[in-house]
Structure 1
Amino acid sequence: MGSPVYIQIHNELRKSIEDGKWKVGSKIPAERELATQFGVSRMTLRQAIQTLVDEGVLERRVGSGTFVASSKVQEKMAGVTSFTDLMQAAGKKPSSKTVSYHLTIPSESEIEKLKLKEGEQVLRMERVRYGNDVPLCYEVATVPADLIKGFSKAEITSSFYHTLESKADLHPGHATQRVSAANANERIAELLKIRRGDALLRMTQISYLQDGRPFEYVHAQYVGNRFEFVLEK
């Protein structure tokens, strides 16, 4: 099974950036030009670009194009808390809607962040997370496939952290997180029941087990006026 075409393009574009073909702050070629170069539809090319935007590698500037993102100030937030625990602590009923769920070949970013070995597969799932039936967050979570053997889809999508602890005796430890501002595109706006262009808080997180192994790589987009992060120093 080969990786999806948009992931292959993602990997090639990312390598071009890492190799210095496009410097920080420089504008990359237009989508039409890149789609022709890779021999794919603009929809497929746009999906690859959006993945790099979600990772913070690229940034879109309205009316100007897409640029290699500059470095941003990073703040560490204390601890690793599951969305379920977070909602319950806030007195809200947590729930999730699974948008997609499949085993696949990891992207270069996922291999790097999750420290995967050659040939390892991952589970990649898209979910909308709710508090009291109000959509708060859209996320794409990737976990090593070997880690979730024997888990049912329901156990993983409803409360992954609780399943890890109760069924595998694996306990989350710390996480590295990056938070930045973004605006909702048409698809995300529809999923989160907001307007296109509304403010989002975009978070990229790598979560580690207590023994230091990375077990989850997440790109999440939170509705700006429904969610806030509290930093502890």
Structure 2
Amino acid sequence: MPKTLRATAAPVLPDAPTGALPTYLRIAEELTRDIGSGRLAAGDKLAPERAMAAEKGVAVATLRKALQLLVDRGLIERRQGSGNYVLGGNRSVGTYALLRLELAGQGGGLPTARVLDMTRAAKPATLPRIGASDIGLRIRRLRFLSDTPVAVEEIWLDARWLDRGPLTPQNISESLYRSYEDRLGLKIIEAEDVIRMGALPAWTPSELGLAQATNLPLIERRAFDQNGQAAEASWTWYDPERAQYFARVP
């Protein structure tokens, strides 16, 4: 017999910060990651819609918009007169389909990020190759999962995309790839990751709670656009006590 998930009342969500995804999409992304990680298993019955809406501090209409997105993604089904049931996990859908960090020991976790610094600069010699220009847009961010700081990341976007539209700390969404698509017409369709150990950089904020130069798992990524060309490279240092890397093969 499938288990039914219960919901408890929670305060109304505060106003979303600048760059936050729409509330319905935040809810959909959190549930998508919970299903993909197995925290919500195939056959589970979600809590009643009014109870879920109260738990998340949103109107029922907002919750239903999020649930419809999950239906469209093939993650849940809505049974008339019975409720909403999980169909199964799928990590290849959603705004964060290429994000491989999740909460350690439990999976999932709603991803958010705060921009620490953004500037045009000369690409470092150690950066994986992402175009002919020696200049790129450097973005440094503090990454969170369910409001817990888990990582810092340094991202480099190739200069050929910088004239497509403005990118600023104020107009970047919590999902950088979504911002690329909305503002630059750049679609990141695949990525290759190499994982090794690396020392936390000197610009790491104290909020991460780890000393600079601490040796941590380091994800080196090269991401490719809709034409198959390398468009972005990044380094992500993450705390293995709070986050884990997950990939399903194939």
Q: Give 1:190 deviation, angstroms.
A: 2.5
8 A Cα contact 1:84 1:159, kept in partner: no
Partner of 1:108: 125
Given that residues 102 and 145 in structure 2 are in contact (C-alpha distance below 8 angstroms), is that contact kept between their aligned partners in structure 1?
Answer: no
Larger radius of gyration: 2
Deviations 1:63-98 (A, max 9, x none): xxxxxxxxxxxxxxx9784559979xx664433222
TM-score (normalizing by structure 2): 0.50
Deviations 1:158-212 (A, max 9, x none): 3221022233443212211111234657764734113567662211000001311
**Structure 1 unmatched runs, 5+:** 1-77
Question: Counterparts of 1:122 and 1:208 in 2: how far apart (Å)?
Answer: 15
CA distance in 2, matches of 1:160, 1:201: 22
TM-score of the superposed pair, with normalisation by structure 1: 0.53
Counterpart of 1:156 in 2: which secondary structure? Answer: coil
The answer (yes or no) to whether the contact 2:101–2:244 under 8 Å persists in 1 is no
Query: Deviation per CA, 1:13-44, whole angstroms, max 9, x where unpaired?
Result: xxxxxxxxxxxxxxxxxxxxxxxxxxxxxxxx
Q: Say whether 1:173 aligns with 2:197.
A: no
More helix by proportion, 1 or 2?
1
Supply the distance in 2 between the matched residues of 1:207 and 1:144 (Cα, whole angstroms).
11
Partner Cα distance (2:196, 2:121) in 1: 28
How far apart in 2 are the matches of 1:128 and 1:145? 23
Query: Among 140, 145, 148, which residue is 1:134 paired with?
Result: 148
Contact map agreement 2:131 2:231 (CA 8 A) in 1: no
Q: 1:211 to 1:136 in 2, by over 3 A?
A: same
Which residue identity lines up with residue 122 of structure 1 in the other structure? G
Q: Aligned equivalents of 1:183 and 1:169: distance in 2?
A: 34
> Please, which of 127, 143, 146 is the counterpart of residue 157 of structure 2?
143
Distance (whole Å) between structure 2 residues aligned to residue 196 and residue 170 of structure 1 = 33
| Residue matched to 2:238 | 222
Q: Output the CA distance in 2 between the equivalents of 1:186 and 1:155.
A: 26
Check if 1:212 corresponds to 2:233.
no
Within the candidate set 139, 156, 163, 2:172 is matched to: 156
